[in-house]
Amino acid sequence: MDEVYLDYQSSKPVDPRVIEEMMPYFHDRFGNPSSLHKVGDTATDALEDSRKRIAKFIHADADDIVFTSGATESINLALMGYALKNKKKGNHIVISEIEHISIHNIAKYLASQGFEITKVPVDQYGLVHVDKLERKLKDNTILISVGYASNEIGTVQPIAEIGKIAKERGIAFHTDAVAAEGLVDLDVNRDSIDLMSLSSNDIYGPKGVGLLYMRKGFRVNPIMIGGGQERGLRSGTEDIPGIVGMRAAAEIMTKEMPSEVSRFKNYRDKVIKRVLQDVPDSHLNGHPTERLASNAHFRFDGIEGESILLSLKDKGISVATGSACSSKTLEPSHTLIATGLVHEEAHGSLELTFGRFNVDSDADKVIEAIPGVVAHLRTLSPIYTCAGR
Ligand code: PMP
């Protein structure tokens, strides 16, 4: 059976071209950039060359890039690092209700350390309204953190507008751009972004690598203390094969993003149109237009997302019920709840995300499979029957 993989948001295969570029750095060019000999110089050259080239991917200066072990670490360095460095200026931080769980958990920790956290609500499509955000800002606000796009429902936020307000008010602006990278042209200057977290795997690079963009003048305290690598901001021997891989992935992405995005939009729009048309009592979660090209997120009245996922799994189709980071808990997605859904509605949700290695027939296969699966599960559902449908 040919597997159809429609869960690119939770994990992506590393592009074979990326693996090819990484390979020499495991054995032939294995050096440590901290060493002063020739073998070390080769590693330093690879590290600094990667920094320069990856900076172009986000239209940034190479000096403003700090390599990390992934998005979670970048987010920790941005939020905790900035909060601790700037606590004398103020202790108020503003985030949105639909941030990734890592941001919510760091915010909870910072609250326990005396910071005041305000969460801006979103509308029914998961959109942050800039006027609402602006009303939450205070004289002691030091940091705003709003994700570029939702990794769950795909809603893309008005990042440039938020950045403009932050800049006018002299507040640092961090965005977790993990869900948007590879699908949106990320430009830290156009969008007035001061801190931005990225992961390598989300652009088909290896897992365990990421970066934090940090604009000059927006300093953070290190959270990893040790040998002082990355200008003292992130101690620990640099993962040169991983960093080279992330650089290679970013360069491939720069070239291929325009055509990929238009291909994904075709899949997305076709799947959304057909599912809403062919399945009664089905709804789209997230914004109808301000959404990632790769994301289709539905809810079906009267049945559970998990049952649909398992039925599709039997047919060789891999999908998600929501955020993979919390799919093993029974808690409904905080993002869906923030858009105003009740628990049963949130549980009836299904997320499909397209990626580089999907082919046209993958969209067709899921369009064919969903109506039958939903109809069958509804025959077994007491909730759907009780609703008198
Ligand atoms: N932010 C978003 C939007 C995510 O989807 C994820 C998970 N892929 C993370 C942050 C954390 O990334 P990682 O687990 O790679 O550190």
Number of domains making up the chain: 2
Query: Is residue 353 within 6 Å of ligand 1 at its C-beta?
Result: no
The H or E element containing residue 316 is none
For the chain, the farthest-separated pair of C-alpha atoms sits apart, in whole angstroms, at: 77
What residue owns the CA closest to ligand 1's atom 5?
Answer: 151
**Which SS3 state, helix, strand or coil, does residue 291 take?**
strand
Q: Are residues 173 and 233 in the same domain?
A: yes
Do 76 and 121 belong to one domain?
yes
Task: Output the domain CATH number for residue 291.
Answer: 3.90.1150.10
What pLDDT is recorded for position 389?
47
Count CB-CB contacts under 10 A for residue 313.
12
The minimum-distance atom of ligand 1 relative to the CA of 69 is 16
Residue 68's Cβ-count burial label (10 Å; 0-12, 13-18, 19+) is: buried
Is residue 220 domain-shared with residue 111, that is, in the same domain? yes
By C-alpha distance, which of 183, 118, 192 is closest to 162?
192
Residue 138: what residue type?
A: K
Which residue CA neighbors atom 10 of ligand 1 most closely? 71
Domain C-terminal end among 199, 227, 252: 252
> What is the rounded average pLDDT of the residues 294-313?
95
Among 252, 269, 288, the domain-final residue is 252
State if residue 179 touches ligand 1 by the CB under 6 angstroms criterion.
yes
C-alpha 163/C-alpha 133 separation (Å) is 11
Same domain, 273 and 237: no
Return d(Cα 223, Cα 233) in angstroms, integer: 8
- 192 and 299 co-located in one domain: no
Same domain, 301 and 269: yes
Within this chain, do residues 92 and 124 fall inside the same structural domain, yes or no? yes
Q: Are 1 and 236 in contact (CB under 8 A)?
A: no
Residue 101: enclosing H or E segment and its boundaries?
Answer: helix 101-112
Tens digits of per-residue pLDDT, 250-261? 999 999 999 999
- Residue 328: predicted pLDDT: 61
Given pLDDT bands bounded at 50, 70 and 90, which one contains residue 388?
very low
Determine which one of 86, 325, 368, 371 is catalytic: 325
Residue range(s) defining the domain that contains residue 98: 16-252
Q: Tell me the average pLDDT of the chain.
A: 95
Q: Provide Rg for the chain, Cα atoms.
A: 22
For the record, the structure tokens of 352 come out as: 């499909």
* pLDDT tens for each residue of 156-175: 999 999 999 999 999 999 99
Whether residues 75 and 200 share a domain: the answer is yes
CATH number, domain with residue 183: 3.40.640.10
Which of 252, 271, 286 lies at the terminal end of a domain, its last residue? 252
The answer on 219 and 120 residing in a single domain is yes
**Tokens encoding 378:** 């509804």
Confidence of residue 326 (pLDDT cuts 50, 70, 90): low
Residues 245 and 264 in one domain: no
Is the domain of 339 the same as that of 370? yes
Distance from the CA of 383 to the center of ligand 1, in angstroms? Answer: 34
Q: Residues 314, 332: one domain?
A: yes
